[in-house]
Structure 1
Amino acid sequence: MRIFKIPNKSAIKRRFLRIFAVVSTVAAMPLTSLAEPAHGIAMYGEPALPAGFESLPYANPQAPKGGTIRLAEPGGFDSLKPWVLKGNAAWGVGVHLAETLMYRSLDEPFTLYGLLAESVETDSERSWVEFTLRPEARFSDGSPVTVEDVIWSYQTLGTQGHPRYHGAWSKVETIEQTGERKLRLTFNTKDRELPMLMGLRPVLKKAQWEGKDFAQSGLEAPIGSGPYVVDRVDPGRSITFRRNPDYWGKDLPLNRGLHNLDVIRYDYFGDANAMFEAFKAGEVDIWRELSSRKWETEFNFPRITSGQALKAEIPNQRPSGIIGLVMNSRNPLFADWRVRQAMIEAFNFQFINNTLNGGVDPRITSYFSNSALAMQPGPAEGRERELLEPFAEQLLPGTLEGYALPEGNDRALDRPGLRRALALLEEAGWTVQDGRMADANGRPLSFEILLNQSGSAMRTASETQQIVDIYTEALRHLGITPRVTLLDAAQFVERTNNFQFDMTWFERGLSLSPGNEQLLYWGAAGVEQPGSRNWMGMDSPAAEAMIEAMVNAESDEDFTAAVRALDRVLTAGRHVIPVSFSPNSRLAHSAKLHYPERKTLYGDWPGFLPETWWQEAEK
């Protein structure tokens, strides 16, 4: 069976020319140069683990099975479909139920090993990829995972699923079944990351969803092939997953030491304060502390002092990502980079960091801080500059020359920063009139700061509120009085999905192998696309060119240069007012729970907790 995306006449002509060229080339090639199936694939070089490896290096194959882990999430949920835009899906469904053809190792920048697929094959140009399914792969109802399920899942996610799936799918020319357990995807765009991305698409059971409107949210429990099944659902309040004793992949080397807990339960709370109190009372087993000051001063409650719960710090070598207040440049006010820089100048980071964190955590100085991918101080040089030079006239000041955030000072009022902000605003046509900042027509400079009352993955609601309170007080000295709006989680998701905000709290985690997902974060297509992650409304040909250079780099040197160049475009774009980050995750956990001593490159990252954890039996 061969399935084509509908082509136009020029596409048909290109296809026949390409087929002719490929056939001619292959005929002239020695057989030894053809691609061969492999157990894994790396973005650069070869996978670190050989075929037939015993287990992932950071897993504990001797970990006992059994026990329960209780986790906490803020807000609520009204859907069990994390693959569509509509609804607020429960956390864990996409993690514990659905599997992908390949599995990502946390110990390498970007390497995949076969999960549902026993092998992967691609050519030197990575213009196509072929996967062979494991014959033993099964859904939780006992039915086999078939090539038909995979093709249906890819087509459905690419056309009806969340927008995050659409970009890569648009680069797929054909998807076809090439054998009883084989499928091949051929790409229409030069992009060396595509075979990797296609290995990470969730595979769903076609028979469950066929004939239904897949784009709609819902509380029907998905049938997956993963190690867990949905056990109990209390909509909006809790969801419980139970380990499937008949899980098809439990004996795979890839899974040895993973999925050790019998029960995983997520309880939902109104806010982070309620979550913390539940942990202190022993109703939740894990707490991630985001404040270094609180970590040092407030963890002296009975559960810790009695030894029932322990404190742990888990380091990582991944990029900081970007955390802070994002400005929506769809608003004409923030379309002017001088206004955005003025907002950055008015943000006294040093005072805020000292007040909230005792000054312990470092500031995010660029999107890839804390890694070798971060832009370096001073002007761009070498390959990095070569990539940026064609866009020199479009780039904002500081991109090529070097850009650094203002340091601020340890006093509440940063007068030098406010003076610089005033000068920039005046350049942009704003002046203080009768005590308020206004334009030439007397219209005040006014905007809204939108906050989620449930907090976020990296900051509690109270901390973001404190940051915004200090910041708005500083803005008043400029004659600016923003409106601060606090919304529940569902309303916040609805408004940010539709870009109905001026400024809001923003977080984007970044990996050591950034690629096509960067287009979803910063690409022009996301400016008007509801649900895109491009909250700032960024439209930069330079950024898109750097992303293209990243995904087509054939060496670490070229890749690093492209990422650093992108980092310059993003940071000098002045779209986000960055705050601090921690290079260590601070976890307080039940003393019954354990995790492997060997730390991973990514540290406390999706795939680590609860996948590698286990519970010791009562003594």
Structure 2
Amino acid sequence: MKRTDARAQAIRALPARSFAIGALSALVLAFGASMTLAQDTIKAHGVSTFGDLKYGADFPHFDYVNPDAPKGGEFSTWAFGTFDSLTPYILKGNAAAGATVFYDTLMTGNLEEPDAMYGLVAASMEYPENREWVIFYMRPEATFSDGTPVTAQDVVFSFETLRDKGRPSYKTTFQYFTGAEAIDDHTVKFTFDPTGPLRELLMTAGGIPILSKAYYETVDFTESSLTPPLGSGAYLLDAVDPGRSVSYKRRDDYWAKDLPVNIGHNNFDIIKFEYFSDYTTAFEAFKGGAYLFREEYSSKEWGTGYDFPALTAGHVIKENLADGRPAGTQGFWFNMRRDKFQDPRVREAIGMAFNFEWSNESLFYGLYERTDSFWENSPTLQASGMPSEAELALLEPLREYFPEEVFTEPAFVPATSSASDLADRRALRQAGKMLEEAGWEVGSDGFRYKDGQKLTLEVLNDSPSFDRIINPYIENLKRLGIDASANRVDAAEAQEREKNFDYDMVTQRFAMSQTPGDELQQIFGSASADTPGSVNVPGLKNEGVDKLIRIIADAQSREELDVAVRALDRVLRSMHIWVPQWYKGVHNIAYRDVFGRPYTDTPPPLSMGESSIWWWDEQKAQKLRDAGAL
């Protein structure tokens, strides 16, 4: 199953361990040791969206790491599909997993605080309370891997290059940036449109990947390439086998290895991704020792496949770890750019044909629960019941843009179907009635037509292991008179078709931020709906949704944010832009017993940190070598 971090997809700028970024709350003065006021500006070593930073200016390292973690060894895992590029910030080509590891950013996140960033290339930052600009004071010791300094000119070049030549979605990301200026070699200033979502923008600036201006004087940024780019990050390219594997090696001379934000991180000498075209082949390779770590997304494999000799012998560890993030938005997404999916009754009827209860009982071994919210399993962000007075205060002025049921009915929850009968007759009868109300009548050949057009639906799929889930759904759709089909293509074709919105329905999963903001434009905003390569999978265009996203981005407190997100969740669910699938609020993982980690059962809330804060345990590895298991 594809997993997409919503904010990372929107900004596509943060290194691998940098997670959800939010925006600045001006009221951070209570953390007196970390910031000072001068001429109505705030100068700080970091920034938090709402309230205080957890860590002061002199913090030695993040609490969740082992500062004495040994360096060495290898972390290897698998990736799905294929790749033909090491250039992650352009639309051309398919970038290799981990390709952002070459680049540093001005600021970086951590695995505990969903709405905080601390200085990396920037030692500190300064901004006014209205947040209309930000100045980053860069570390003079920051260097690219060839030893040349990282300068403010490089930062300005990076911003302008990504805006003008990067993935089209950058134009939306940077739409409220009015400029970037190198004040001197190590001081850079960004200015923002006062009408923009100012709470967010300085952190977006802090997350821009820093490219080398000198390097791209002789290299075409717009061309995909397997030549490793010049960066200032902790890793270099180790080896690449196009479409099959890619590995990165830790730099002993990494300029920032002793900074507090990096202590206890970047512990592996080698990070490697082995590519496979389907999940079953990848699992068999794991059992055979082709790679060391696997997070399992297949309920069938998790329920029946983990009984192989290496696990029985204790050479492989299998466990569940808590996942502190919202469970994510996983579903079958409609392409509403197509006329046949414009009517929400059609979309709702198609959704009713998916029998989750039967799938969970017959295919998933009862391991999952049904998703209904875009912020599933997040009590503060997930809408429930009738709208509250606070939600209505936001929704009523936008009433003309939304379905009436937003105001008159509880937040939409998919109806429960029969677990014992795939073809739940009650659900299918109701779905058929909705299609008829939308004008789709059954013809003499058993298919539904409207104005002479047959109702067809193709589910695009790039995984053989997903066939067992899609095919029963197709059966039910055919029972409704829909000419439905499952089209399994290779990963390269699927990636290209998804970039260009060439599908009826596709499966996608977003891991949503706990502090949502302006990045929601990329998923649900009108401006991104027709931008090639954007993650607005359904092609949603709704002015009211755009206004709610702006309210979220401008929220001045956590309470305001939560109310606005619940209102948006309620609206999106009423529109039936997807058929929600399932979730399980834990990480199902298995790995060769060669790792150490700084926690036992409970990882940091935002990530397990397996490729960064775990480490190679040589004693464990030697035991497996002695047993012939490594």
- Do Structure 1 and Structure 2 share a fold, with TM-score over 0.5? yes
Structure 2: distance between partners of 1:409 and 1:512: 34
C-alpha change, 1:51 and 1:419, in structure 2 (3 Å) is same
Structure 2: distance between partners of 1:292 and 1:219: 35
Structure 2: distance between partners of 1:325 and 1:507: 9
Contact persistence 1:108–1:601 (CA under 8 A):
no
Partner of 1:265: 272
How far 1:572 moved relative to its partner?
1.3
The residue type paired with residue 65 of structure 1 is K
Instruction: Give a deviation string over 1:314-358, Cα, whole Å, max 9, x none.
Output: 212211221111111111111110000001111111111212222
Structure 2: distance between partners of 1:215 and 1:267: 26
How far 1:435 moved relative to its partner?
4.9
The more displaced of 572-581 and 407-416 is 407-416
Identity of aligned pairs, percent? Answer: 38
Structure 1: distance between partners of 2:285 and 2:298: 18
The more displaced of 31-40 and 579-588 is 31-40
Partner of 2:314: 307
How far 1:468 moved relative to its partner?
1.0
Contact persistence 1:397–1:572 (CA under 8 A):
no
The residue type paired with residue 573 of structure 1 is M
How far 1:31 moved relative to its partner?
7.2
Partner of 1:49: 55
Partner of 2:442: 432
Instruction: Give a deviation string over 1:421-465, Cα, whole Å, max 9, x none.
Output: 011101100122225232354532112111113xxxxxxx41x21
Contact persistence 2:112–2:604 (CA under 8 A):
yes
Structure 1: distance between partners of 2:541 and 2:80: 32
Partner of 2:576: 574
Instruction: Give a deviation string over 1:29-61, Cα, whole Å, max 9, x none.
Output: x97552232111011112111111111121111
Structure 2: distance between partners of 1:447 and 1:554: 43
Partner of 1:413: 423
Partner of 1:546: 548
Structure 1: distance between partners of 2:146 and 2:37: 42
Q: What are structure 1's unaligned runs of at least 5 residues?
A: 1-29, 454-460
The match for 1:174 among 166, 175, 179 is 179
For 2:488, what is the secondary structure of its paired residue?
strand
Partner of 1:26: none
Structure 2: distance between partners of 1:474 and 1:545: 37
The residue type paired with residue 445 of structure 1 is L
Partner of 1:450: 460
Structure 1: distance between partners of 2:603 and 2:53: 16
Structure 2: distance between partners of 1:347 and 1:374: 25
Partner of 2:521: 519
Structure 2: distance between partners of 1:449 and 1:163: 26
Verify: 1:609 aligned to 2:610, yes or no.
yes
Partner of 1:587: 589
C-alpha change, 1:600 and 1:108, in structure 2 (3 Å) is farther
Structure 1: distance between partners of 2:41 and 2:496: 46
Structure 2: distance between partners of 1:337 and 1:601: 40
Alignment of 1:82-97 (within 5 A): 82-94=88-100, 96-97=101-102
How far 1:381 moved relative to its partner?
1.5
For 1:577, what is the secondary structure of its paired residue?
strand
The CA RMSD measured in Å over matched residues stands at: 1.7
The residue type paired with residue 443 of structure 1 is Q
Contact persistence 1:314–1:604 (CA under 8 A):
no
Structure 1: distance between partners of 2:515 and 2:615: 29
The match for 1:140 among 145, 148, 158 is 145
For 2:579, what is the secondary structure of its paired residue?
strand
Alignment of 1:285-304 (within 5 A): 285-304=292-311
C-alpha change, 1:465 and 1:215, in structure 2 (3 Å) is same
How far 1:613 moved relative to its partner?
1.3
The residue type paired with residue 408 of structure 1 is S
Structure 2: distance between partners of 1:45 and 1:150: 28
Contact persistence 1:39–1:120 (CA under 8 A):
yes
How far 1:296 moved relative to its partner?
3.6
Contact persistence 1:259–1:612 (CA under 8 A):
yes
Structure 1: distance between partners of 2:140 and 2:273: 33
Instruction: Give a deviation string over 1:268-327, Cα, whole Å, max 9, x none.
Output: 122211211111011110111113453243211111111111112221221122111111
The residue type paired with residue 405 of structure 1 is P
For 2:487, what is the secondary structure of its paired residue?
strand
Alignment of 1:423-502 (within 5 A): 423-453=433-463, 461-462=464-465, 464-502=466-504
Partner of 1:71: 77
Across the two proteins, how many residue pairs are aligned to each other?
Answer: 579
The match for 1:218 among 222, 225, 239 is 225
Instruction: Give a deviation string over 1:87-109, Cα, whole Å, max 9, x none.
Output: 00111110x21111111112012
Structure 2: distance between partners of 1:125 and 1:193: 12
Alignment of 1:311-460 (within 5 A): 311-400=318-407, 401-402=409-410, 403-410=412-419, 411-453=421-463
Structure 2: distance between partners of 1:36 and 1:381: 36
How far 1:397 moved relative to its partner?
4.1
The more displaced of 188-197 and 293-302 is 293-302
| TM-score, normalised relative to structure 2 | 0.89
Structure 2: distance between partners of 1:519 and 1:242: 35
The residue type paired with residue 419 of structure 1 is R
| TM-score, normalised relative to structure 1 | 0.91
Contact persistence 1:366–1:374 (CA under 8 A):
no
C-alpha change, 1:31 and 1:141, in structure 2 (3 Å) is closer
